[in-house]
Amino acid sequence: MTTNTEHPQLWPKWMKRNQAHQYISVADNTFINRYVKTGKVKAYPTEHGIRYDRDEIDEAVRHYYD
């Protein structure tokens, strides 16, 4: 999603797991099994817990069938 003055950014750059699976509208288990365990999306440990990069998720969804 792009940011502009009319529509503020709805999704943060770094998301928690519950935000990440809601962002692409799939179940939590589907997100973990099809994206994280296959290596399409990496989990980044931070001082605030594990986070997922929105840009990586976008790229994984674009190349879902590859």
Residue 6's region, left for phi above 0, alpha for psi from -120 to 50, else beta, is: alpha
pTM over 0.85: no
pLDDT for the residue numbered 65:
80
Mean pLDDT, the chain, whole residue set: 88
Closest by alpha carbon to 20, among 33, 8, 31, 10? 31
Helix (H) or strand (E) holding 5: none
